Structure 1
């Protein structure tokens, strides 16, 4: 397929690379030095999102936040200005479910299809092509995109209509965020009580508390290796989406809100570009620092 790919960050680069390796022609926007190797592999650097849309049958976005998607789709020389009937826009960013529905309506008014398809699995999953992909949109569009999704992920689910993919991703981030906070508390408690947190984690991995968070991020907490797989500021953004959506739905998500506030504190303390497992450092600071 002739594919446009916009958003060549930590996640987007390996995702685009998998599509190139599968034999697809990729028209790439925002190529920088760190993503230049994709052009060497056969991708084509394009000057604007408009031209990407004009020269591609399917346009994939992998961007940081809701305003970024809005600007790329509908800003000056944006994707929408280059679309023609029958094209498909796939937003794989993690953004607001409410905004997603508005974006989809504007794209569909141009006689094009729209899918929201956020992912989970972090940089490791992106590199291994093992991402979980949560899709919202029409089934015909999903079937058209599925061969591409299969080159980037393993667990691929059409959840429902447009926006349902983003709702599922927010739910995922609630679970991940609260579990990171719980593991942080457990390991901090163990350390302050005089136990070896590495051995506590090892013991817990054999019980009902076992989880991927305890396995992967718990190890980072023990070793204090916080190079980002997923940056704290991006997870904070997702938790803010959850809190904002809860207010719009008139529901209480008290622990989600509390964890969002801890992530606010982490970003304010300079940990925004560290891995989200660095939340344990915020809890340590609340307890008077490491001992």
Structure 2
């Protein structure tokens, strides 16, 4: 297929590479030196989002935040200026569920299909093509896109209608954030109490406290290896989405709010561009 891909960051680069390897023709926007290897692998660099939309049958977005998605879709030389009826836009960013519904409606008026398909798994999952992909949209449109998702992920679920993928991603980020906080506090406690946190982690991995966060991020915390797989700044944004949505729903999320405050502290300490496992440094 002819696929447009906009958003070639830590996650987007390996995701796009998997699609190239699978034999698809990719059209890219905002190619920087770190993503130049994708062009060398056969992708085409475009000068605008509208050029990507004109060239591709399917346009995939992997961008940091809601305003970035809105600008790429509807700004000057944006996707909307290049799309034709029947084209499919897949937003794999993590953004506001409410804004997602609005974006989908505006593109539907142009005769285009829309899926929100945020992911979980971080840089490791993106490189291994093992991402969890949570999708919102029509079942028949999901079926059209699923072969592409299968080149980037393993656990692929149609959650419900447009916006429901983003709801699932926000829920995922709540669980991950609280788990990171729990592991951070446990390892800090072990170290302050005089035990070797590496040995404590190893022991916990054999019991009911075992988790993917304890396995991967616990090791990062012990070795203090905080190169970003997923930045604190972006996780902070996702928790802001959770709390903003909770306010509209008149819902209490007290522990989410507490971790959000801890991330505020991490940002104030200049940790925003470190991996979210560096939350332990805020403690």
* TM-score for the superposition, normalised by structure 1: 0.97
Matches within 5 A, 1:24-103: 24-103=24-103
Moved over 6 A (4+): none
Structure 1 SS opposite 2:10: coil
Deviations 1:189-246 (A, max 9, x none): 1111111111110110000000000000001111111111111101111111111111
Q: For the aligned residues, what is the CA RMSD?
A: 0.5
Structure 2 SS opposite 1:59: strand
The alpha-carbon deviation at position 12 of structure 1 amounts to 0.3
Identify the residue that residue 104 of structure 2 maps to in structure 1.
104
CA distance in 2, matches of 1:48, 1:227: 30
Identify the residue that residue 217 of structure 2 maps to in structure 1.
217
Structure 1 SS opposite 2:269: helix
CA distance in 2, matches of 1:224, 1:26: 37
Identify the residue that residue 232 of structure 1 maps to in structure 2.
232
CA distance in 2, matches of 1:111, 1:6: 21
* TM-score for the superposition, normalised by structure 2: 0.99
- The answer for unaligned runs of 5 or more in structure 1 is 284-291
Deviations 1:71-122 (A, max 9, x none): 0000001001111110000000000001000000001111110000000000
Matches within 5 A, 1:1-291: 1-283=1-283
CA distance in 1, matches of 2:116, 2:211: 27
- The answer for unaligned runs of 5 or more in structure 2 is none
